[in-house]
């Protein structure tokens, strides 16, 4: 009896194992068939693929694995009746699968029956999808994947209406409009998205920076933001974004209006305004910067921002004085007094030591008081409160001054010290650049190129551009004759200009223009002469040289520089605003990719009056 039961159990197990093996074999066979059909389909062997898929489709168990390719194949073969019959059976088996239901509408599209497709999808969206968040997202993604994106938009908009929430699905709609390059609609949806998720401001700003590449894009966004601020004055996120728009346009006054009001609302002691002021200073809009720093000094006199603002205010004034030609020595002297008063009143702190350094450079390069400058810089270098960066920069300044005093060996030592102690930093790269320039001044062009080749690849954009420019100058103007006489002469002129020996430099430039009148350096010599004349206040003569560059060498590296400089002279020095506008407008057509384009556009718009009385302040 025991043996009989044992035998029966063993037989059952054996049968079960055989059954399992058989099922596994069938499953494996089906998997092979599916892979074969997919391979036929991908290789364009549609009839072979159809034959295999049709066989597999008889078993509904495998429909989810083959449906996408099989249905697409039927549409490719224009077997629309077969596709309808197939879908009817599939939907009967899987009645809740939205993908299969949506596929019905694609048959109309492939038949060219747009009207029927529209009726089908509209009814489906209205009756079965828009009242369900999950179905809404599934359907929208389906339409995007099937490249009928307008229905994805319709799905979201219908669902938005059903929910009674005008901001619903704004992020999803913004991304669709971005894909379609419908910038205005994209922006509108992103602003709706920000209204409910202000924490994502940085993401939206970064996205807009990538997409809104044309000036009119930012103009349109600015108009829309003003409207949003007026409609919802309590939502500061739109003011934050308007600050960003104004900064992109280099409209620092407009950015300041928004920053000032937000600082008041949030009790930020001028933090935003301070940031705008520093950006304006870095972008050489010294008048706007001075206005902002004056505001901070007067509005928040007892704060740390006021101390910084006092320093930056003098710095802005310094840049205005230095760029008002001819430079007035009395105003330079007044600047040194302002710096000293600031230091005396505040004490020797980090900020005032920076101001002390600025004072030293005025003594050295504008007042010919090199001993005073050297003394100040040594004080900074030995001061316990000076930062490592400030000490390093002061050493670079000392190196520059030793070039003025014809002690280049001292300069080399100082530059090398900084380069060694500040490796892989912007200051270290600046030290290497100055050593390269020193080699260039001395006519050691090969050594200079070795430094410059490194700097072109591994540094900040500003230093990289300077290195690239000097490298091109050396490369294009050496090897033209065996002694490199012209290039050595030009480098000497660069050196004596650095040493402020302008009369000597002018004589040497005139000699070279006569001696080497067909040399590739002619446009560079004209540029140097124009720069000297401008600084001497001889603006009409400077324009003559710049015009010659613009006419004869417009295609070369200095073409856009010369045209831009002409606009500046007409605007800032001759007060011929209409002529400046003409040049700026033409500049944007002739040199659209120039590094000066952003500033030219901003200057043109300022002269046209675009930024007059700009800005809507948020209410408290």
DSSP-derived secondary structure for 384-442: TTS-HHHHHHHHHHHHHHHHHTT-HHHHHHHHHHHHHHTTTSHHHHHHHHHHHHHHHHT
If one counts every other C-beta atom within 10 angstroms of the C-beta of residue 6, the result is 10
Residue 598 · residue 285 · CB < 8 Å: no
Whether the pLDDT of residue 600 is over 70: the answer is: yes
- The mean pLDDT value for 388-400 works out to 96
- Select from 531, 498, 493 the least CA-distant residue to 515: 493
Q: How confident is the model at residue 92 (pLDDT cuts 50, 70, 90)?
A: confident
**pTM of this structure:** 0.80
In a domain, 549, yes or no: yes
In a domain, 173, yes or no: no
Q: Of 95, 129, 149, which residue constitutes the final position of a domain?
A: 95
Q: How confident is the model at residue 424 (pLDDT cuts 50, 70, 90)?
A: confident
In a domain, 14, yes or no: yes
Q: How confident is the model at residue 476 (pLDDT cuts 50, 70, 90)?
A: confident
With vertex at residue 51, the alpha carbon angle to CA 50 and CA 54, rounded to the nearest 5 degrees, is 75
Q: How confident is the model at residue 350 (pLDDT cuts 50, 70, 90)?
A: confident
What is the pLDDT at residue 542? 96
In a domain, 330, yes or no: no
> Cα–Cα distances in Å, from 271 out to 202, 256, 300, 619?
18, 11, 10, 19
Residue partners of 38: CB distance under 8 A and separation at least 6: 49, 69
What percentage of the chain exceeds 90 in pLDDT? 60
In a domain, 590, yes or no: yes
Whether the pLDDT of residue 619 is over 60: the answer is: no
What is the pLDDT at residue 69? 78
Tell me the pLDDT of the chain averaged across its residues.
Answer: 88
- The mean pLDDT value for 108-120 works out to 89
User: What is the per-residue pLDDT across 257-269, written as a single tens digit (0 to 9) for each?
Assistant: 999 999 998 888 8
In a domain, 455, yes or no: no
Lowest mean pLDDT among 40-54, 315-329, 534-548: 40-54
What percentage of the chain exceeds 70 in pLDDT? 91
What is the pLDDT at residue 546? 96
In a domain, 600, yes or no: yes
- The mean pLDDT value for 84-113 works out to 87
Whether the pLDDT of residue 231 is over 70: the answer is: yes
What is the pLDDT at residue 7? 56
d(CA 285, CA 282): 8
For 355, the token pair is: 């101001």
d(CA 560, CA 550): 8
Q: Of 95, 126, 154, which residue constitutes the final position of a domain?
A: 95
Domain count across the chain = 2
What is the pLDDT at residue 456? 78
Q: What is the 3-state secondary structure (H, E, C) of 428-475?
A: HHHHHHHHHHHHHHCCCHHHHHHHHHHHCCCCCHHHHHHHHHHHHHHH
- Select from 570, 566, 558, 545 the least CA-distant residue to 594: 558
Q: What is the 3-state secondary structure (H, E, C) of 54-76?
A: HHHCCCHHHHHHHHHHHHHHHHH
The residue segments making up the domain with residue 497 are: 485-608
For 70, the token pair is: 């099989």
Q: How confident is the model at residue 232 (pLDDT cuts 50, 70, 90)?
A: confident
- The mean pLDDT value for 46-64 works out to 74
**3-class SS of residue 262:** helix
- Select from 109, 112, 115, 182 the least CA-distant residue to 148: 109
Question: Is the CA virtual torsion 195, 198, 200, 204 positive or negative?
Answer: positive
Instruction: Look up the CATH number of the domain holding residue 523.
Output: 1.25.40.10
Q: Which phi-psi region, left, alpha or beta, contains residue 362 (left: φ > 0; alpha: ψ -120 to 50)?
A: alpha
User: What is the per-residue pLDDT across 1-53, written as a single tens digit (0 to 9) for each?
Assistant: 545 445 555 454 444 444 444 445 545 666 776 776 777 777 777 787 767 77
With vertex at residue 249, the alpha carbon angle to CA 244 and CA 254, rounded to the nearest 5 degrees, is 65
What is the pLDDT at residue 462? 83
- The mean pLDDT value for 544-567 works out to 93
Residue 554 · residue 538 · CB < 8 Å: no
If one counts every other C-beta atom within 10 angstroms of the C-beta of residue 15, the result is 10
Residue 222 · residue 242 · CB < 8 Å: yes
Residue 204 · residue 181 · CB < 8 Å: no
In a domain, 422, yes or no: no
Q: Of 80, 95, 110, which residue constitutes the final position of a domain?
A: 95
């Amino acid at each position: 009896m025991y043996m009989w039961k044992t035998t029966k159990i063993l037989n059952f197990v054996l049968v079960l194992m055989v059954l399992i093996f058989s099922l596994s074999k069938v499953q494996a066979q089906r998997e092979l068939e599916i892979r074969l059909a997919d391979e036929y389909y991908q290789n364009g062997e549609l009839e072979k693929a159809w034959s295999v898929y049709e066989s597999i489709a008889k078993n509904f168990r495998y429909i989810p694995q083959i449906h996408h390719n099989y249905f697409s194949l039927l549409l490719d073969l224009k077997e629309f009746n077969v596709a309808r019959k197939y879908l009817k059976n599939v939907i009967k088996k899987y009645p809740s699968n939205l993908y299969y239901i949506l596929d019905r509408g694609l048959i109309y599209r492939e038949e060219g029956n747009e009207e029927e497709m529209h009726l089908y999808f509209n009814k489906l969206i209205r009756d079965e999808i828009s009242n369900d968040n999950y179905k809404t997202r599934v359907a929208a993604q389906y339409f995007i994947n099937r490249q009928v994106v307008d229905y994805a938009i319709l799905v979201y908009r219908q669902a938005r209406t059903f929910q009674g929430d005008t901001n619903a699905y704004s992020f999803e709609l913004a991304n669709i409009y971005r894909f379609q390059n419908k910038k205005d609609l994209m922006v509108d949806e992103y602003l709706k998205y920000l209204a409910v998720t202000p924490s994502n401001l940085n993401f939206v700003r970064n996205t807009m920076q990538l997409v809104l590449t044309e000036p009119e894009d930012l103009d349109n966004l600015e108009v829309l933001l003003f409207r949003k601020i007026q409609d919802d004055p309590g939502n500061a996120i739109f003011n934050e974004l308007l600050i960003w728009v104004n900064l992109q346009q280099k409209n620092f006054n407009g950015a300041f209006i928004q920053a000032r009001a937000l600082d008041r609302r949030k009790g930020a002691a001028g933090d935003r305004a301070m940031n705008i002021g520093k950006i304006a200073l870095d972008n050489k809009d010294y008048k706007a910067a001075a206005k902002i720093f004056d505001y901070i000094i007067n509005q928040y006199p007892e704060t740390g921002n006021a101390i910084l603002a006092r320093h930056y205010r003098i710095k802005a004034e310094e840049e205005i004085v230095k760029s008002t030609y001819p430079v007035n020595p009395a105003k330079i002297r007044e600047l040194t007094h302002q710096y000293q008063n600031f230091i005396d009143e505040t004490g020797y702190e980090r900020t005032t030591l920076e101001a002390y350094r600025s004072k030293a450079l005025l003594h050295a390069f504008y007042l010919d008081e090199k001993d005073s400058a050297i003394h100040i810089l040594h004080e900074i270098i030995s001061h316990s409160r000076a930062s490592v960066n400030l000490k390093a920069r002061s050493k670079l300044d000392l190196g520059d001054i030793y070039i003025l005093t014809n002690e280049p060996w001292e300069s080399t030592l100082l530059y090398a010290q900084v380069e060694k102690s500040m490796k892989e930093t912007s200051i270290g790269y600046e030290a290497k650049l100055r050593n390269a320039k020193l080699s260039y001044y001395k006519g050691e062009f090969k050594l200079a190129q070795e430094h410059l080749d490194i700097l072109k690849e591994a540094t900040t954009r500003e230093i990289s551009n300077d290195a690239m420019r000097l490298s091109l100058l050396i490369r294009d103007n050496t090897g033209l004759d065996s002694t490199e006489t012209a290039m050595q002469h030009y480098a000497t002129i660069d050196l004596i200009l650095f040493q402020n020996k302008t009369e000597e430099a002018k004589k040497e430039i005139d000699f070279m223009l006569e001696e080497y009148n067909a040399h590739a350096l002619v446009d560079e010599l004209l540029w140097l002469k124009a720069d000297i004349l401008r600084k001497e206040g001889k603006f009409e003569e400077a324009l003559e040289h710049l015009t010659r560059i613009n006419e004869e060498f417009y295609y070369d590296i200095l073409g856009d520089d010369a045209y831009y400089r002409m606009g500046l002279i007409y605007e800032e020095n001759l007060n011929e605003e209409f002529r400046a506008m003409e040049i700026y407008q033409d500049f944007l057509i002739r040199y659209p990719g120039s590094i000066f384009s952003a500033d030219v556009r901003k200057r043109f718009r300022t002269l046209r009056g675009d930024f007059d009385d700009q800005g809507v302040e948020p209410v408290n």
